[in-house]
Amino acid sequence: MDIEVSCKVNPTESYDIIIKSINSLLEGIKLEFRYGDRIIGKSKNLEVLNIIYNQARDRYITSVLRRLLLYNLYEYSTWFYINKQVATKGVMVLVEDESESPLGPIRIDLKSNNIERVIEWLCPE
């Protein structure tokens, strides 16, 4: 299992606030600043998705998350976007297109030899 999060940090944004936002949704993921304007984080531990798992259920958006994961599914990987501005409050709001998040979204990529099982765990039918 490989989990990767990536997010562009705009010149008007605080690097620390974006780090805090990502950590509020992906607890325990190691983040680093790369390429001059991107935060990248990687983990092999499925438990970093626990907050997303819980928020999807608490907010009744498992079906939306499932639809996005299945739509973006390619071979052994899939991905979805989270609104970066709302994430600063520790809340997951899914977006279907980058343009729905004015300052750019947070992208979460999931890769696994058994990606269907990961999708089923994260957002069952």
Give the pLDDT score at 34.
Answer: 82
| Structural domain boundaries in the chain | 2-122
Q: What is the pLDDT of residues 34-76, one digit of tens each?
A: 878 999 999 999 999 999 999 999 999 999 999 999 999 999 9
Dist CA 65 CA 45 (whole Å): 20
pLDDT of residue 36: 82
Q: Are 109 and 72 in contact (CB under 8 A)?
A: no
Residue 26 CA to residue 29 CA, distance in Å, equals 6
Cβ–Cβ under 8 Å, residues 98 and 7: no
CA distances for 40 relative to 86, 100, 116, angstroms: 19, 21, 24
The model carries a pTM of 0.95
Q: What is the dihedral of CA 100, 37, 92, 61, to 10 degrees?
A: 60
Q: Percentage of residues in the chain with pLDDT exceeding 70?
A: 100
The conformational region for residue 78 under phi > 0 = left, psi -120 to 50 = alpha, else beta, is beta
pLDDT, mean of residues 116-123: 96
Measure the CA–CA gap between 98 and 95, rounded to whole angstroms: 7
Whether 23 contacts 60, CB under 8 Å: no
Average pLDDT rounded to a whole number, residues 20-31: 94
pLDDT, mean over the chain: 95
**Superfamily name and number for 2-122:** Ribosomal protein L5 (3.30.1440.10)
Task: Tell me if 82 sits within 8 A of 92, measured CB to CB.
Answer: yes
